[in-house]
């Protein structure tokens, strides 16, 4: 793994970073590209400022990446929804009803909170189990991915062959490559110094 740090001088105007015209994972000729978006933590004209990277991929690697999303995100969402809904009704039934106008809806709000927590936990457990079962098909790449809930809570994004993370305290975007040649070309195209 090769790490390249990109200094962000102005978060409201992040740099346009370029990749070579070949797959960041296997090095074959670029056939498509997949996006990585990182929130810079500031707003401009009423919207969040995003640093967008278009990672070049061959069709085989792009399809593998899309397949990984199917065995991580979909089990998390479906499992979390089903178990969250199963927890909603019992939680609503046992929640005390408020006695003042401000607390009349407490039972509903409590059940929603319990449903959310149960959904996140059960969705993560189901995602972990499905990822474990998918290792023979997708290899170790899938095991390296954080669970969906953790990737939602951090400002990072991963694709096959490349990942990016915004370090807010240091104003640095850390781009990590699995392929040393892709990292070298990325440094050259963006005039970045070697660490």
- pLDDT tens-digit map of 68-90: 878 888 999 999 999 999 999 99
Domain enclosing residue 169, as ranges = 2-65+120-189
Q: Roughly what angle, to the nearest 10 degrees, separates helices 106-138 and 59-94?
A: 150
Considering only residues 143 and 149, tell me which one the structure prediction assigns the higher pLDDT: 149
Number of domains in the chain: 1
pLDDT in the model for residue 193: 59
Q: Which helix (H) or strand (E) holds 75?
A: helix 59-94
Tell whether 97 is covered by a domain: no
Residue 8 confidence (pLDDT) above 90: no
- Of 14, 17, 47, 49, nearest to 33 by C-alpha is 17
Q: What is the DSSP letter of 29?
A: B
Tell whether 73 is covered by a domain: no
The overall average pLDDT reported for the chain is: 86
Dist. CA 13–CA 168, nearest whole Å = 15
Tell whether 112 is covered by a domain: no
Tell whether 148 is covered by a domain: yes
Tell whether 82 is covered by a domain: no
Are the C-beta atoms of residues 132 and 142 closer than 8 Å to each other? no
Tell whether 74 is covered by a domain: no
Dist. CA 57–CA 178, nearest whole Å = 13
- Of 66, 72, 58, nearest to 134 by C-alpha is 72
Tell whether 70 is covered by a domain: no
Tokens coding 67: 């397949």
Tell whether 75 is covered by a domain: no
Q: How far is CA 48 from CA 12, 14, 15, 85, 193, in A?
A: 9, 12, 15, 32, 29
Looking at mean pLDDT, say which of 4-8, 26-30, 124-128, 188-192 comes out highest.
124-128
Beta bridge partners of 48: 43
């Amino acid at each position: 793994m090769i790490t390249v740090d990109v200094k962000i001088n102005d978060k409201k105007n992040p740099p346009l970073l370029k990749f070579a015209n070949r797959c960041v994972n296997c090095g074959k000729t670029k056939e498509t590209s997949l996006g990585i978006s990182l929130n810079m933590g500031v707003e401009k004209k009423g919207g969040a400022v995003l640093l967008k990277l278009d990672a070049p991929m061959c069709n085989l690697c792009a399809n593998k990446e899309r397949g990984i999303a199917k065995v991580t995100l979909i089990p998390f969402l479906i499992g979390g929804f089903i178990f969250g809904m199963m927890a909603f009704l019992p939680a609503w039934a046992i929640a005390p009803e408020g006695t003042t106008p401000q607390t009349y809806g407490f039972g509903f709000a409590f059940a929603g909170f319990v449903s959310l927590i149960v959904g996140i936990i059960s969705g993560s457990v189901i995602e972990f189990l499905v990822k474990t079962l998918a290792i023979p098909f997708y290899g170790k790449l899938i095991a390296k991915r954080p669970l969906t809930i953790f990737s939602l809570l951090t400002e990072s994004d991963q694709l096959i062959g490349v990942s990016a993370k915004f370090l807010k305290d240091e104003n640095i975007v850390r781009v990590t490559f699995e392929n040393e040649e892709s990292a070298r070309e990325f440094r050259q195209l963006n005039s970045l110094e070697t660490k």
